[in-house]
């Protein structure tokens, strides 16, 4: 076999076929790499390798393999091999490994590109190399496929044309079987000939075991069929080597059955092991918070995925969403994943929502208490719009966040609905989308409250929110809030730095023994502020309260708190104070901002309170307030600076102030990728280097080919 491998491998570079395939593969990949990675600043080569495989290998592999058996059969030189003292299996394997080695050359060169990209930004190397591995395995499957057709004919052109056409048909097969009305035929095609979907599964950031098993079994099957095809011809050359089982239809059928069984067995692998997440941000891995929520569910839950299970409805479902939904169902036997084709059953969603839900949307239903929650497909992703081209790019995954929130929502009883009121009329900041969703998904009915028109805080108020007023309350408004506190009402207070007189607003804080110092907190230790910005963009020290649980062990372990003021407090017999956030010992208070940020002799230094929890007892009633001194702490932009930790702090705060028996968890958005920073000079450099390499390979191939043709 080794001799055959060496002979075949050399032959591809003694002719022009080897250099042509290597050069063409690299040229195509370079084009797609420039388009997807350098010009669009993507840090993942999956788009480039997918398109190179889909469009390039469709033609290049038939070119590479068309002479593997066809030419020898035509020239009758195969007679010597067929009568040689080696098995047919060794002959086929030797040729296959030689072809695999040729394809490995451009694949190894492509492996350099992710390393090159690290010069321009953060790169998820594991995801990149998994995609490249998928490209190579896909190429090997095409080699085995084309070798079989090469063994069936003596005409090189026929071998090339038939192989290329069949690969093309397989690649676009999803467009064929999706329109079929025969369900079993559609399912059969999707599981057998749809090789492009299997390739796609290997590009999504997970080691998809079923796709790898599919390609490996396809390689084994067609190598076996090629062996059987040649074995039949070998028998005609040397009947003394004939074995009654050498070329047997029964053997072929058994082999096909084994291949089918292997793929069916792979499909039964538990969901946690069927695909291994290799993304840098664990896009397809459920967090521990979600696992804890799911483990505690005892109700009968059905998750309806508005898509056809086998994709024969004429539309393409989102397999990324499907992967995550299957993980939920695998965690708890009380959760069932059900597919509903909205094309066939367009009125199904109307049973649960008045919203118009697109394909691949989700509806979570608690069959025990008959509560439901609909999740639009668009809500499961964050997108960024390029207004120069009006194209959108997915920048974040909200799939887990939405599904986990929906599960928490539907498993609560209808009598547990609470009312949260947000005070308005004082130039307050509005809660931004992600933070507002925390309230609505926490089974809270959120309403605006204008105290002067309402006359008091409504009696059904479970949580009062004061969000960064910039204009002072009137004495009457402050009195209404104080009455609410005296009656045991809970309140979230977020103050914001302002030069306005806020006497009445501050009197509300004094109900809990809390005061606000003038000026803003400034850090001098770079470990406690965002060094690329300003020393008053703080990374605070976390306290020991439950509100900060889980944040210190998160990806960054940081919170982003800009323009915070110092909170002071005095404990008394009826008020208990717990520290949530503080500045470091190296901070000071800057009171004269117009003069610049400078530590002067008279400035107060030390650790200052930024977040406090105060519990006030009045008779038999108890009022809890959580107070933060940064008006921008609960904004989308601040939370994004620390991978969603500010959003988690807000969720924990709401949990601490709510009377739900079950704490709600909020899963931050998972960022898809980071962008590269590539100059036009870098683009031209990569193009010139690759052009020089491709030209060098072609010139070398021509020189070798011409020199050997003259012999």
pLDDT tens-digit readout, 282-306: 888 899 999 999 999 999 999 999 9
Give the whole-number percent of the chain exceeding pLDDT 90.
49
Q: Residue 1 pairs with which residues in a beta bridge?
A: none
Does residue 553 register a pLDDT over 90?
A: no
Taking the whole predicted model, whether its pTM rises above 0.85 is answered as no
Q: Which of 284, 141, 115 is nearest to 212 (CA)?
A: 141
Tens of pLDDT, residue by residue over 177-200, are 555 555 555 565 666 677 888 898
In this predicted model, what pLDDT tens digit does every residue of 426-449 receive, in sequence order?
999 888 877 887 887 677 888 999
DSSP 459-491: TTEEEEEEE--SSPPPHHHHHHHHHHHHTT--E
Residue 287 CA to residue 307 CA, distance in Å, equals: 25
Q: Mean pLDDT over all residues of the chain?
A: 86
Triad 340, 345, 346: Cα angle to 5°: 110
DSSP 630-665: -TTTTSHHHHHTTTTHHHHHHHHHHHHHS--SS---
Residue 414 DSSP class: G
Q: Which pLDDT score is estimated for 710?
A: 67
> Cα-flanking dihedrals φ and ψ of residue 71, to 5°?
-65, -40
pLDDT of 410 > 90? The answer is: no
Is pLDDT at 420 greater than 70 in this prediction? yes
Residue 378, helix vs strand vs coil: helix
Q: Which of 396, 79, 374 is nearest to 238 (CA)?
A: 79
Q: Are 541 and 584 in contact (CB under 8 A)?
A: yes
Q: 454, 467, 406: which is closest to 654 by C-alpha?
A: 467
Determine the average pLDDT of the residues in 401-412: 88
pLDDT at 188: 59
Q: CA 485 to CA 377: how far, in whole Å? A: 41
DSSP 8-state code for residue 54: I
Cα distance between residue 541 and residue 608, in whole Å: 10
Give the residue, 136 or 268, on which the prediction is more confident.
136
Residue 432: its H or E element: none
Q: Pairing between strand 567-569 and 541-542?
A: unpaired
Across residues 233-253, what is the average pLDDT? 56
pLDDT attached to residue 312: 43
pLDDT confidence of residue 675 = 76
Question: How many Å apart are CA 447 and CA 460, to the nearest integer?
Answer: 12
Distance CA 663, CA 308 (A): 35
Domains (ranges, CATH) in the chain?
2-177+208-278+675-709 (no CATH), 288-396 (3.40.30.10), 428-671 (3.40.50)
- Split at pLDDT 50, 70, 90, the class of 102 is very high
pLDDT of residue 171: 82
Work out the average pLDDT over 97-104.
Answer: 96
| Residue 86 Cα distances to 2, 89, 325, angstroms | 11, 8, 51
* Whether residue 608 has pLDDT greater than 50: yes
C-alpha 377/C-alpha 384 separation (Å) is 16
**Interatomic CA distance for residues 523 and 537, integer angstroms:** 8
Which residues, in sequence order, are bridge partners of residue 371? 366
């Amino acid at each position: 076999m080794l001799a055959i491998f060496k002979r075949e491998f050399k032959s591809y570079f003694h002719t022009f076929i080897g250099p042509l395939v290597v050069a063409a593969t690299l040229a195509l990949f370079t084009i797609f790499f420039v388009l997807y990675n350098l010009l669009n600043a993507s840090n993942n080569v999956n788009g480039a390798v997918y398109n190179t495989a889909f469009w390039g290998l469709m033609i290049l592999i038939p070119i590479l393999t068309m002479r593997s058996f066809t030419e020898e059969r035509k020239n009758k030189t195969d007679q010597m091999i067929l009568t040689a003292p080696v098995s047919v299996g060794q002959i086929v394997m030797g040729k296959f490994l030689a072809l695999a080695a040729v394809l490995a050359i451009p694949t190894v060169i492509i492996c350099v590109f992710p390393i090159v990209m690290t010069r321009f930004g953060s790169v998820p190397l594991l995801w990149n190399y998994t995609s490249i591995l998928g490209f190579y395995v896909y190429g090997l499957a095409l080699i085995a496929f084309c070798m079989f057709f090469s063994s069936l004919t003596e005409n090189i052109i026929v071998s090339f044309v038939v192989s290329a056409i069949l690969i093309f048909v397989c690649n676009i097969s999803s467009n064929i079987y999706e329109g079929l009305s025969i369900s079993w035929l559609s399912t059969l095609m999707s599981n057998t000939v749809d090789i492009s979907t299997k390739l796609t599964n290997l590009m999504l950031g997970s080691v998809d075991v079923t796709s790898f098993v599919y390609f490996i079994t396809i390689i084994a099957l067609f190598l076996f069929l090629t062996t059987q095809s040649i074995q039949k011809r070998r028998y005609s050359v040397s009947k003394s080597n004939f074995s009654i089982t050498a070329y047997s239809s029964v053997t072929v059928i058994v082999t096909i059955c084994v291949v089918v069984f292997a793929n069916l067995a792979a499909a039964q692998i538990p969901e946690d092991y069927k695909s291994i997440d290799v993304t840098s941000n664990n896009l397809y891995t459920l967090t521990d918070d979600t696992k804890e929520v799911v483990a505690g569910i005892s109700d009968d839950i059905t998750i309806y995925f508005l898509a056809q299970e086998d994709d024969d409805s004429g539309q393409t479902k989102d397999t990324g969403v499907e992967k995550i939904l299957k993980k939920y169902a695998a965690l708890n036997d009380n959760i069932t994943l059900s597919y509903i084709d909205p094309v066939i059953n367009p009125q199904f969603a109307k049973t649960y929502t008045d919203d118009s839900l697109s394909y691949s949307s989700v509806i979570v239903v608690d069959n025990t208490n008959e509560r439901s929650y609909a999740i639009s497909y668009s809500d499961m992703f964050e997108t960024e719009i390029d207004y120069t081209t009006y194209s959108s790019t997915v920048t974040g995954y909200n799939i887990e966040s939405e599904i986990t929130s929906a599960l928490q929502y539907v498993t609560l009883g209808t009598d547990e609905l609470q009312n949260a009121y947000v005070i308005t009329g004082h130039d307050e900041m509005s809660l931004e989308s992600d933070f507002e969703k925390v309230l609505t998904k926490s089974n809270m009915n959120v309403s605006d409250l204008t105290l002067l028109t309402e006359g008091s805080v409504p009696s059904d108020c479970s949580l009062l929110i004061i969000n960064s007023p910039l204009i002072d309350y009137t004495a009457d408004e402050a009195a209404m809030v104080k009455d609410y506190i005296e009656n045991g009402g809970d309140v979230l207070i977020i103050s914001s730095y302002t030069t306005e007189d806020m006497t009445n607003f501050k009197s509300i804080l004094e109900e809990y023994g809390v005061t606000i110092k003038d000026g803003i907190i400034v850090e001098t230790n770079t470990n406690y502020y965002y060094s690329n910005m300003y020393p008053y963009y703080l990374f605070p020290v976390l306290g020991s309260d439950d509100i900060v649980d889980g944040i210190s062990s998160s990806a960054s372990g940081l919170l982003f708190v800009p323009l915070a003021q110092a909170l002071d407090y005095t404990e008394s017999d009826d008020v208990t104070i717990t520290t949530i956030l503080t500045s470091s010992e190296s901070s000071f208070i800057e009171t004269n901002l117009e003069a610049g940020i400078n530590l002067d002799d008279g400035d107060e230094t030390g650790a200052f309170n930024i977040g406090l929890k105060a519990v006030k007892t009045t008779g038999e009633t108890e009022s809890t307030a959580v107070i933060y001194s940064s008006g921008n702490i609960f904004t989308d932009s601040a939370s994004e600076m620390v991978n969603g930790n500010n959003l988690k702090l807000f969720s924990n705060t709401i949990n601490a102030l709510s009377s739900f028996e079950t704490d709600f968890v909020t899963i931050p958005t998972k960022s898809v990728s980071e962008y590269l920073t590539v100059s036009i000079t870098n683009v031209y450099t990569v193009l010139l280097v690759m052009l020089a390499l491709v030209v060098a390979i072609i010139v070398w191939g021509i020189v070798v080919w011409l020199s050997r043709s003259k012999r």
